[in-house]
Amino acid sequence: MKKEGLSVLLLVGILLLALAGCVTRSMRAPAPPEEVPPLPVEYGMEEAAPSLPVEYGMGENVQAVSFDATIERLVIRTADLELTVPDTEEALDRIQALVEELGGYVVSLDTYQYQEGVQAVVTFRVPAESFDVALDRVKEIATTVRRESISGQDVTEEYVDLEARLRHLQAKEAQLLEFLDQAEDTEAVMQVYAELSRTQQEIEVVRGRMQYLENRAALATITVNLTPDELAQPLEVGGWNLPGTVRNALELLLNVLEFTVKALIYLLVVGLPTVLVVAAPLVGLVFVARWLIRRSRKPRR
């Protein structure tokens, strides 16, 4: 009798949780982020035991709608700069000092050694409130700003959805803990414990995702490509300017073509008549000579 009463209590509680999740989930479907990697699929509740609710997704999204209008927006800001600088190593030192001054850190640094100097690509992160200051200070180092790209990704909606999901999962966890304390049957205990483990695992995943978004929004990312002035100049070897050489070669080609056309015209207009005048008597003499030779070879009767 006690076993049947516990089973009925467990079934009623599960049905109430499933009904609440279905009703509130139908009010609003979360929009997935466009760039930030999504939550792993394997941590969803689609694999829950058949006798327990199948999904525990966004059970409190209706409350998240009103909450979304009051919280501070989370925007992941990034920038990409290409600069020419007088000295790459000096520019790197100034950027490193700036990052430390603003309370940030360098993520990566790649350098490339050339005969004309060193080219470098540095990526660093600074507090989001210092993003504009960092950009202005970095551009002061440059001789020329060759390219500048700034972007921002708003992840506020996803974060609000995660908060609502976390509250729902925590409520579900508390309910399952109550069921676990009241369960006396071994099979019921194992079933509730399995669902509790899955719920706690999903809570950790949601918390990790929220911390990731908070960190990405709190610190802006800036990537700077530093090129020394010598490398940025047009290709020049031993005083030879490549664009000027190409231009001179084209001019020479045009002059050669012009000379060839003029020569052909002179040959046709002047040379051909001259050849005809000189060659005509010679051709006549050849024919006369051949005629005389044939005549002399004929036998006499």
What average pLDDT does the chain have?
A: 77
Q: Is 83 exposed, middle or buried (0-12, 13-18, 19+ CB in 10 A)?
A: buried
CATH fold for domain 75-155+221-232: Alpha-Beta Plaits (3.30.70)
Dist. CA 155–CA 275, nearest whole Å: 89
**CA dist., res. 250 & res. 210, Å (int):** 63
**Residue/partner pairs of 113-116 with CB below 8 Å, 24 or more apart:** 114/231, 116/228, 116/230, 116/231
Phi, psi at residue 222, to the nearest 5°?
-130, 130
Beta bridge partner(s), residue 80? 149, 223
Rounded Cα gap, residues 31 and 28, in angstroms: 9
E strands along the chain, which residues?
75-85, 105-113, 118-127, 144-154, 219-228, 236-237, 240-241
pLDDT above 50 for 225? yes
Which residues are registered as beta bridge partners of 237? 240
Write down the domain spans for the chain. Answer: 2-71+156-199, 75-155+221-232, 244-297
Residue 231 or residue 248, greater confidence: 248
**Mean per-residue pLDDT, 151-163:** 91
The Cα-based distances of 197 to 55, 162, 278 in angstroms read 15, 19, 113
**Nearest CA among 159, 171, 196 for reference residue 74:** 159
Q: What percent of the chain has pLDDT over 70?
A: 71
| β-strand partners of 220 | 126
Query: Cα separation of 68 and 87, whole Å?
Result: 48
Which residue from 136, 154, 133, 131 is spatially nearest to 220, judged by alpha carbons?
Answer: 131
Over residues 7-61, the pLDDT tens digits come to 555 655 665 555 555 444 444 444 444 455 554 434 443 343 334 443 333 344 4
Dist. CA 35–CA 158, nearest whole Å: 12
Question: For the chain, how big is the Rg over CA atoms in Å?
Answer: 43
pLDDT value for 129:
92
Question: Which pLDDT score is estimated for 188?
Answer: 82
Q: What is the pTM of this model?
A: 0.51
Contacts of residue 30, Cβ cutoff 8 Å, sequence gap at least 6: 58, 61, 157, 158, 161
130 and 221 in contact (C-beta within 8 Å)?
no
Pairing of strands 219-228, 240-241: unpaired
Tell me the pLDDT band of 298, cut-offs 50, 70 and 90.
Answer: low
**171 pLDDT band (50/70/90 cuts)?**
very high
pLDDT at 250 over 70: yes
**Encoded tokens for 139:** 């551009």
Q: What single-letter DSSP state applies at residue 271?
A: I
- Residues of the chain with pLDDT > 90: what percent? 38
Mean of the pLDDT values across residues 97-109?
94
